[in-house]
A and B are shown apart, each in its own frame.
Chain A
Amino acid sequence: MDPFADTLQRLREAFRSGQTQAADFRAMQLKGLGRFLRENKQLLQDALAQDLHKSAFESEVSEIRISQGEVNLALKNLRAWMKDEKVPRNLATQLDSAFIRKEPFGLVLIIVPWNYPLNLTLVPLVGALAAGNCVVLKPSEISKNMEKVLAEVLPRYLDQSCFAVVLGGPEETQQLLENKFDYIFFTGSPRVGKIIMAAAAKHLTPVTLELGGKNPCYVDDDCDPQTVANRVVWFRCFNTGQTCVAPDYVLCSRETQERLLPTMQSAITRFYGEDPKSSPDLGRIIGEKQFRRLQGLLGCGHVAIGGQSDESERYIAPTVLVDVQETEPVMQEEIFGPILPIVNVRSLDEAVDFITRREKPLALYAFSNNSQVIKRVLTGTSSGGFCGNDGFMHMTLTTLPFGGVGASGMGRYHGKFSFDTFSHHRACLLRAPGMEKIYAIRYPPYSPRNQRLLLAAMETRSCSCTLL
């Protein structure tokens, strides 16, 4: 017995009824999301604090405000985004109406991870609802407190005939995936991404996979070490390192490493105090399993800064490791914690080579005063996104598409890109009446005369003009 069959049937019927098509309905759903965020701010902050020891600042900036911004953006632009997009015509279609119609896919499944459980729920949800889909949301069971809020409070703000939350772990998710969806949006690890795509293949369901990897951070000799240290440390330790786009490891020369270490220590002390454990601005690791994995990584290379951990609190100190080998675990898996290994390279070329030997990451960072160096790293590599001289600031711009490439993912979203991702772009050509005598050129029986006429028509305009 499929426990989800009834829920999915209900949502499918709601979609069939056409109720999600109207702009007013979609706007109402989006306004509901806005109210959910405004009326439950304390509840949401508490849940984030309980799950991840997230500070009020981080909750505001990286979860609540970002989500609110996306809701507002969608509300403001909904009608413009929904409009049919006119396209340039060729000679044969000059008098016709040619446009791309954005249509909802139908039933969308959004699978959310635990690290930014509010943001990574709401931002895709905004796109899916704005595009007119019905949505099944599967929050992460690991961020238990947020899971509860999403399951119990969020549905009250949305039309529940078009929206459902399903709960469970890997087993339930596997069962859920046996059903057919019209789109699946998944954020999580590459390993699970493969499972999701394989399940989607059985139903030919299109997917967006926001995965991860090891995001390299190249630091050039020509830079200001304190500024670099501030930026790298902050982005590494934000959300206790549990960010898919966090700088995962540093590539720099030995000399630069020596300049960076004291500045990194200085940054850590300034940000989190002498005893980072007691700083309210440093979070905790989400769970036992993840904590133990990170604790294990502390044994790689040598600890240059930090290295402390406390199991009772799932606390890992902001740590910098040096003398790490490529084969060690800390350089083999995505760290997802406040640990920053430094790998030495002797030149820019060696750094680029190091990066391109590995899987394409979700984000790539390069720090240098020399814009040529930045450009060289950019052009010599590939990644989901890139930021020169800072951390994941590129994510705050909704006008930049956010997504991976290769093992770090496929597809993209944020802002209008979300709306487009959750829409089928339907090509529409509505032919003007008349003109049949002209179109008769395409009909058999064919003769050399037809061919000559056809070619003449082709030559009058050098554009894609076929099957006249």
Chain B
Amino acid sequence: MDRKVQRARAAFRSGRSRPLQFRLQQLEALRRMVQERERDILQAIGADLCKSEFNAYSQEVISILGEIDHVLEKLPKWVTPKPAEKNLLTMLDEAYVHSEPLGVVLIIGAWNYPFVLTIQPLIGAIAAGNAVIIKPSEVSENTAKIVSKLLPQYLDQDLYVVINGGVKETTELLRQRFDHILYTGNTAVGKIVMEAAAKHLTPVTLELGGKSPCYIDKDCDLDIACRRITWGKYMNCGQTCIAPDYILCEPSLQSQIVQKIKETVKEFYGENVKESPDYERIINLHHFKRIINLLEGQKIAYGGETDEATCYIAPTILTDVDPEAKVMQEEIFGPILPVVPVKNADEAIKFINDHEKPLAFYIFSHNNKLIRRMIDETSSGGVTGNDVIMHFTLSSLPFGGVGSSGIGAYHGKHSFDTFSHQRSCLLKSLKREGINKLRYPPNSQSKVDWAKFLILKRFNKGKLCLLMLTVLGIVAAVLVKAGYY
């Protein structure tokens, strides 16, 4: 393992991951991999999560293709240095910010969307010119295997390396030094990753989770709200970091909500959900047991059927849920939707703020003022108003958490920025030393006044300014020569 990381570092040091052409080529190769081996990839994902090929395609593969295309189009612009507005003192100099690769980046994937959560960060890391170590989740073992088999067939084998393994191997890997670590997973492990990173002063991006609240206002299109919530909640059998975890609404809405979601579930998955090819399963027995444990003592308004042999849990709704209940103490990550009654929006806001900042916040209402107020008075990684999940799909929005739901963000250009160092560059000339005499000792008050003026005034390029500077420069040089300073 040590050797693989060292080889990646040596490959990075050779400089070949830096040129724009190389990065574009690798991204194009990645795209070819996804297109040519689509079948294999979809089958792997399907095997891990009991997911239909269509779902695997629309939930994972499409995102990747879209992201690669977006990056291929924009990367030439992103790598161009960004000029910075100058002040009078630096008027004639070149000032810009240049994005540089960090070095060797570690990406630790998760099992719930095993392909996209490993490959989407990889796209950003490659685009930024880094070498990358990829550690897919061992829980989604088929996807881990296929990623590990395919990447070396299409990408540079020394620069982009897949390392597989469980907790032991990951702990070992974290002892190595990286230049950035992006981890997707849970809060507890997030802390371990950050602690390990601290030993090497490695910056981290932690995509964690939490309980994403969904507030349903009485003034909203309840039909649509329930359809969308059903879609987002039961997708991937609830195993989505930004799934609406629980609902907050006035007590009078509960029975309607249950009814409408029930109808939508039938529409989406048929009378016998277990037989729908579009409904997934819980990843493994451990999580299956964890989730059904949460049902203990709860009022099941709909669903509740389970089948241990296949890790099947039916789409379930709980009503009149007590905030102290077990199901409200941890991220559910399963197809159980608790409804917690609250008196009004104010109480909902207080409830949300009394808990850890979530990864996502959802609100359904016709009242735009209310939506704005609820956003103003709460915090979360991201927000979608009148829908769920969707803010994830727009790559111009940074995707990440806050507080215990995470640190940093990525997607689109945000990935590129995350995996780059933005280096400030100021290029001056050795000429015009005369004007510098103003700053050298021995000092005086008038020197201070000049310095104040030159540092604090800001200008952009312009002939008038250039003229002004030249005049000032001459005046200053003359005064210095004449011994005033």
Contacts and interface: CB of A to CB of B under 8 A. Distances in A.
B194 A204 contact: yes
Interface string B117-145: 00000000000000000000000000000
Nearest to B83: A399
A228 B433 CA distance: 9
Contacts of A230: 433, 436, 440
Contacts of A272: 441-442
B269 A60 contact: no
B86 interface: yes
Contacts of A190: 201
B353 A204 contact: no
B268 A198 contact: no
Contacts of B176: none
Interface in A41-67: 55-58, 60-61, 65-66
Contacts of B421: 382, 405
A386 B98 CA distance: 10
Given A204-B403, A396-B455, A429-B385, A443 B231 contact: yes
A105 to B, nearest CB: 7
A31 B427 CA distance: 34
Interface in A159-211: 182, 190, 193-194, 197-198, 200-202, 204, 206, 209, 211
A68 B453 CA distance: 12
B396 A87 contact: yes
Interface residues of A, number: 113
Contact of B90 (A69, A382, A397): A397
A234 interface: yes
Contacts of A279: 441-442
Contacts of A271: 440-442
Secondary structure of the A side of the interface? mixed
A451 B57 contact: yes
Given A428-B391, A431-B387, A458-B66, A401 B422 contact: yes
A83 to B, nearest CB: 14
Contacts of A142: none
Contact of B390 (A93, A224, A410): A93
B195 interface: yes
Nearest to A58: B443
Interface stretch (B166-174, B244-252, B301-309, B405-413): B405-413
Interface residues of B, number: 113
A410 B394 CA distance: 27
Given A197-B201, A430-B385, A467 B455 contact: no
Contacts of B344: none
B52 A87 contact: no
B86 A399 contact: yes
Nearest to B279: A444
A314 B276 CA distance: 80
A281 B442 CA distance: 6
B433 A227 contact: yes
B279 to A, nearest CB: 8
A445 B270 CA distance: 8
B407 A204 contact: yes
A336 B447 CA distance: 26
Interface in B77-131: 84-87, 89-90, 95, 97-98, 100, 102-103
B452 A443 contact: no
A443 B234 CA distance: 11
Secondary structure of the B side of the interface? mixed
B382 A444 contact: no
A427 B57 contact: no
B389 interface: yes
Contact of A89 (B67, B394, B428): B394
A200 to B, nearest CB: 7
Interface stretch (A123-131, A305-313, A323-331, A387-395): A387-395
A38 interface: no
Interface string B145-186: 000000000000000000000000000000000010000000
B102 A405 contact: yes
A462 B67 CA distance: 10
B289 interface: no
Interface in A258-315: 267, 270-273, 279-282
Interface stretch (A2-10, A95-103, A246-254, A337-345): A95-103
B50 interface: no
Contact of A467 (B100, B179, B389, B456): B389
A460 interface: no
A388 B391 contact: no
Interface stretch (A114-122, A133-141, A145-153, A367-375): A367-375
B61 to A, nearest CB: 10
Contacts of A397: 84-87, 90, 95, 424, 426
A457 to B, nearest CB: 10
A368 B430 CA distance: 7
A61 B390 contact: no
A385 interface: yes
Given A426-B380, A430-B371, A446-B54, A204 B206 contact: yes
A233 to B, nearest CB: 9
Interface in B294-342: none
Contacts of B396: 87-90, 98
A388 B379 contact: no
Contact of B402 (A60, A412, A424): A424
B404 interface: yes
Contacts of B203: 410-411
24 contacts: A18-B377, A56-B448, A87-B397, A92-B393, A197-B198, A202-B191, A204-B190, A211-B201, A371-B427, A384-B423, A384-B424, A385-B425, A385-B426, A387-B425, A389-B429, A397-B86, A427-B391, A429-B387, A430-B384, A445-B269, A462-B73, A463-B70, A464-B63, A464-B393
Interface of B: 13, 52, 54-55, 57-59, 62-63, 66-67, 69-70, 73, 84-87, 89-90, 95, 97-98, 100, 102-103, 179, 187, 190-191, 194-195, 197-199, 201, 203, 206, 208, 221, 224, 227-228, 231, 267-270, 276-279, 353, 366, 368, 371, 375-377, 379-387, 389-399, 402-404, 406-409, 412, 421-430, 433, 436, 439-445, 447-448, 451-452, 455-456, 458
List the 7 shortest-distance A-B pairs measured between CB atoms, nearest first: A57-B443, A281-B441, A201-B194, A197-B198, A427-B397, A427-B382, A430-B385
Given A93-B390, A201-B197, A396-B87, 18 more contacts: A61-B455, A87-B394, A93-B393, A93-B394, A98-B394, A201-B195, A234-B439, A279-B441, A369-B430, A390-B428, A393-B89, A399-B84, A427-B391, A429-B391, A431-B385, A444-B269, A446-B55, A454-B62
